[in-house]
């Protein structure tokens, strides 16, 4: 939605903000109300990056709103600081710094824990403002006398006093806020934030330090909150203590959800609805204090029935109409068939990333004495395992033999109880899955772990970004197309897994076989030198199996691969050597031929009834 014509959204925002003072008075909006809406909208821009884009629902934003607001107001009223804009910026920095410290604590946990911790944080800040720090914040009196901004341009002085004059200043702040937010959302970091919301596990596994990115989003949200808090003081000529209340956080959350999360403009729309309804219900309908109940009911209904809020609802409606039109067009014209093209030229093999130590020539992977115990259950016991550079190794074993556990240990998703793992001569035991992926070792999952809310291309972009940018980088102001080699790598992977035609399809609309190929593609796009594949053929039709085996053969060039699968015919055709696991132990290693004829393997699979069947 945010990827339309360049600068379209920016231009529309500018037009809207310019037109507002001429249009809104006729709709009954007082300038003060409009200014308040803009402050909420600015506050919400950062919050939407945190909640809508990254999926972190914080109920503690009032802490940063208040921090920024009071720092700015204190500077302007008590400390004799004359520059309003400077004070706002310092307040913003203070809020961001606070956000960083708080984020370190709150982001230790995710999901509901995160929500609970942020609630507690907001409450603590409220109490601190009222008691220990009341000498600085004025306690329940707040800080009166916050000045309005003025700028001396040499030949004239611009002074933004109140009403529509102050609107110009606040609207400019909001506009800059929108541009920065849009840039962040369109940057590589923005793409990764969406991936974190969608599937944090896979975002970690393809090599992103998601904790760092979450903290980034948290700090960004705090910075926006801090600046907006300062503006609130400027707007009211008074810094009210209730900026710190839990209600402020709650109102922000509700406005964002009403307007539409993940849209950046949702909070602005939500604030408009909120303030308009508050006015309308209180004065026009004479509901008095009941207005909040009505808003509460509206909010609950919206959450129940219109998940995307007002903007999401409008977008859905638009898509419904546009979709209907497209369908009628499709009925008359012919859409190209979506089957694989037989004439397709096979893409060139994709190269693995450069080796860090080219001199190293020993086995690419060596595990010794690898053991994993879950309480009394021994999943893997004392496994010795070694794979040479460029080898294609298969792993088979009956269900419950510990194959997937073994893979999880190799990629450092879970830590072994004992034993060592050495990758290219480097001990990786105890490293994190992100680091191991960055070193060039990753796997595709037995059960698909895709970014289901994104398109095929976006999925592969997330994986390729991890390889091209490393596990953490703060390129907030770069576009995706500015990442060197990204387009090529994504296109190449698309071609390899034969999903070019489906590149812009949302994952949710893919067929199962396509999802399996994308699963492999995600691992492949990180350019691993050692690729582990956990049952790549599971659940595929015979035809899809043939395709996938062909795919695996093509990606095996210049790469080491270890494959778990139950389809022995396909597997034996692919690999050079096979390891058989049984009850968590290595039964034997051997060539496919040796394994096929080995009595112990037959025994393991058929559980000793083999003789009876033969008889």
Partner 1 sequence: MISWPNLVSQLFNGLALGALLALISSGLTIIYGTLGVLNLAHGAMFMIGGYAGFVTYQYTESFLLAVIAGSLFVMLLGVAMERVIIRHFYHRPHEDQLLVTFGLGICFVELVRLVFSSQSQLVPPPALFQGITNLGFMFYPTYRLAVVGIVAVALGALFLVLYRTRLGMIVRAGIEDSVMVDSLGINVYRVFMVVFGIGAMAAGFAGIVNAPVVSLTPGIGDDILVQTFVVVVIGGVGSFPGAILGGLIAGEIISVTSMFNPGYAYVMLFAAMTLVLVVRPHGLLGVQGRE
**Which residues contact partner 1 by CB under 8 A?**
51, 55, 57, 59, 105, 108-113, 115-117, 119-121, 123-124, 127-128, 130-132, 246, 250, 253-254, 257, 289-290, 292-293, 296-297, 299-300, 303-304, 307
Neighbours of 140 (CB within 10 A): 11
Nearer to partner 1, 298 or 538 (CB): 298
Compute the C-alpha angle 552/557/559, nearest 5°: 90
Nearer to partner 1, 253 or 532 (CB): 253
Q: Please say whether the dihedral angle defined by the alpha carbons of residues 375, 379, 381 and 384, taken in this order, is positive or negative.
A: negative
Nearer to partner 1, 250 or 349 (CB): 250
Nearer to partner 1, 60 or 233 (CB): 60
Taking the complex as a whole, how short is the minimal distance between the CB of residue 181 and partner 1, in angstroms?
20
CA 240 – CA 146 distance, rounded (Å): 11
Nearer to partner 1, 59 or 423 (CB): 59
The secondary structure element, H or E, covering residue 199 is none
Q: Is 293 exposed, middle or buried (0-12, 13-18, 19+ CB in 10 A)?
A: exposed
Nearer to partner 1, 121 or 463 (CB): 121
Taking the complex as a whole, how short is the minimal distance between the CB of residue 133 and partner 1, in angstroms?
9
Helix (H, G, I), strand (E, B) or coil at 504: coil
User: What size, in residues, is the chain?
Assistant: 615
- Rg, Å, the chain Cα set: 29
First to last CA, the chain: 66
Taking the complex as a whole, how short is the minimal distance between the CB of residue 388 and partner 1, in angstroms?
36
CA 546 – CA 343 distance, rounded (Å): 17
CA 545 – CA 513 distance, rounded (Å): 9
Taking the complex as a whole, how short is the minimal distance between the CB of residue 24 and partner 1, in angstroms?
28
Annotate 397-450 with DSSP letters as a single string.
--TTSSHHHHHHHHTTSS--SEEEEEETTEE-TT--HHHHHHHTEEEE-SS---
On the CB side of 402, how many CA atoms lie within 13 Å of its CA? 25
Q: How far is CA 45 from CA 40, 48, 214, in A?
A: 9, 5, 16
Q: Phi and psi for 388 in degrees, rounded to 5?
A: -90, 160
Taking the complex as a whole, how short is the minimal distance between the CB of residue 362 and partner 1, in angstroms?
36
Compute the C-alpha angle 531/533/535, nearest 5°: 175
CA 73 – CA 70 distance, rounded (Å): 5
DSSP 3-state helix, strand, coil percentages of the chain (rounded to 5)? 60, 10, 30
Q: Nearest-CA neighbor of 575 among 537, 519, 522, 524?
A: 537
Nearer to partner 1, 288 or 542 (CB): 288
CA 287 – CA 276 distance, rounded (Å): 14
Nearer to partner 1, 287 or 495 (CB): 287
Q: Please say whether the dihedral angle defined by the alpha carbons of residues 539, 541, 545 and 547, taken in this order, is positive or negative.
A: negative
β-bridge pairing 377-387 and 392-396: unpaired
Taking the complex as a whole, how short is the minimal distance between the CB of residue 118 and partner 1, in angstroms?
9
Nearer to partner 1, 55 or 142 (CB): 55
Q: Is 97 exposed, middle or buried (0-12, 13-18, 19+ CB in 10 A)?
A: middle
Taking the complex as a whole, how short is the minimal distance between the CB of residue 99 and partner 1, in angstroms?
16
| Backbone angle region of 11, left / alpha / beta, with phi > 0 → left and psi within -120 to 50 → alpha | alpha
Nearer to partner 1, 23 or 297 (CB): 297
Nearer to partner 1, 12 or 293 (CB): 293
Q: Phi and psi for 420 in degrees, rounded to 5?
A: -130, 150
Annotate 111-149 with DSSP letters as a single string.
HHHHHHHHHHHHHHHHHHHHTTTHHHH-GGG-EE-PPPP
Instruction: Give all strands of the β-sheet with 418-423 in edge-to-edge order.
Output: 377-387, 365-374, 418-423, 426-427
Nearer to partner 1, 312 or 363 (CB): 312
The secondary structure element, H or E, covering residue 283 is none
Nearer to partner 1, 242 or 593 (CB): 242
Taking the complex as a whole, how short is the minimal distance between the CB of residue 494 and partner 1, in angstroms?
29
Nearer to partner 1, 297 or 600 (CB): 297
Cβ-based neighbours of 295, under 8 Å, separated by 6 or more: 254, 274, 277, 278, 281
Helix (H, G, I), strand (E, B) or coil at 577: strand
Nearer to partner 1, 127 or 151 (CB): 127
Nearer to partner 1, 60 or 229 (CB): 60
Taking the complex as a whole, how short is the minimal distance between the CB of residue 280 and partner 1, in angstroms?
17
Task: Determine contact, residues 210/200, Cβ cutoff 8 Å.
Answer: yes
């Amino acid at each position: 939605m945010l990827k339309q014509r360049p600068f379209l959204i920016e231009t529309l925002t500018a037009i809207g903000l310019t037109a507002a003072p001429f249009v809104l008075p006729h709709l009954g909006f007082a300038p003060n109300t409009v200014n308040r809406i803009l402050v909420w909208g600015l506050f919400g821009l950062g919050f939407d990056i945190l909640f809508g884009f990254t999926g972190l629902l914080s109920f503690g934003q009032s802490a940063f709103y208040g921090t920024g607001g009071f720092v700015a107001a204190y500077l302007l009223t008590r400390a004799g600081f004359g520059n309003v804009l400077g004070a706002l910026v310092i307040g913003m920095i203070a809020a961001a710094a606070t956000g960083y410290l708080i984020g370190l604590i709150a982001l230790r946990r995710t999901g509901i824990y995160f929500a609970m911790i942020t609630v507690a944080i907001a409450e603590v800040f409220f109490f601190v403002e009222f008691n220990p720090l009341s000498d600085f914040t004025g306690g329940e009196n707040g800080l009166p006398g916050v000045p309005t901004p003025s700028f001396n341009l040499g030949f004239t002085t611009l002074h933004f006093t109140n009403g529509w004059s102050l609107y110009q200043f606040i609207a400019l702040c909001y506009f800059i806020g929108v541009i920065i937010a849009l840039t962040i959302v369109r940057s590589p970091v923005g793409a990764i934030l969406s991936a974190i919301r969608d599937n944090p596990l896979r975002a970690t596994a393809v090599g992103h330090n998601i904790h760092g990115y979450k903290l980034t989003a948290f700090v960004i949200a705090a910075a926006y909150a801090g600046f907006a808090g300062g503006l609130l003081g400027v707007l009211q000529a008074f810094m009210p203590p209730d900026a710190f209340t839990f209600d402020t956080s709650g109102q922000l959350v509700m406005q964002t959800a009403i307007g539409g999360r993940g849209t950046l403009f949702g909070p602005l729309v939500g604030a408009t609805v909120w303030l308009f309804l508050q006015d309308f219900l209180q004065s026009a309908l004479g509901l008095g204090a009941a207005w909040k109940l009505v808003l509460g009911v509206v909010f609950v209904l919206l959450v129940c029935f219109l998940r995307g809020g007002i903007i999401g609802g409008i977008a859905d409606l638009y898509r419904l109409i546009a979709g209907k039109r497209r369908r009628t067009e499709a009925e008359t014209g012919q859409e190209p068939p979506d089957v694989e093209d037989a004439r397709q030229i096979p893409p060139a093999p994709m190269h693995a990333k450069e080796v860090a130590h080219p001199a190293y020539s020993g086995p690419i992977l060596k595990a010794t004495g690898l053991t994993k115990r879950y309480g009394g259950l021994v999943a893997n016991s004392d496994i010795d395992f070694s794979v040479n550079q460029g080898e294609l190794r298969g792993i088979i074993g009956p269900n419950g033999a510990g194959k997937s556990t073994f893979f999880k240990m190799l990629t450092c998703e879970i830590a072994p109880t004992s034993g060592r793992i050495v990758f290219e001569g480097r001990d990786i035991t105890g490293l994190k899955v992100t680091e191991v992926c960055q070193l060039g070792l990753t796997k595709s999952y037995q059960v698909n772990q895709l970014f289901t809310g994104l398109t095929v291309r976006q999925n592969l972009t997330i994986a390729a970004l991890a390889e091209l940018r490393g596990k953490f980088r703060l390129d907030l102001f770069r576009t995706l197309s500015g990442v060197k080699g990204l387009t090529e790598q994504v296109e190449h992977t698309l071609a390899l897994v034969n999903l070019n035609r489906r590149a812009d399809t949302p994952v949710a609309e893919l067929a199962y076989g396509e999802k399996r190929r994308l699963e492999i593609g995600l691992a492949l796009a990180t350019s691993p030198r050692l690729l582990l594949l956990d049952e790549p053929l599971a659940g595929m039709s015979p035809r899809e199996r043939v395709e996938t085996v062909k795919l695996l053969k093509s990606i095996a060039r210049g790469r080491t691969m270890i494959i778990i699968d139950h389809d022995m015919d396909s597997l034996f055709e692919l690999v050079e050597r096979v390891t058989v696991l049984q009850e968590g132990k290595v039964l034997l290693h051997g060539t496919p031929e040796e394994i096929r004829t080995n009595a112990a393997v037959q025994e393991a699979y058929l559980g000793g009834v083999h003789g009876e069947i033969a008889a």
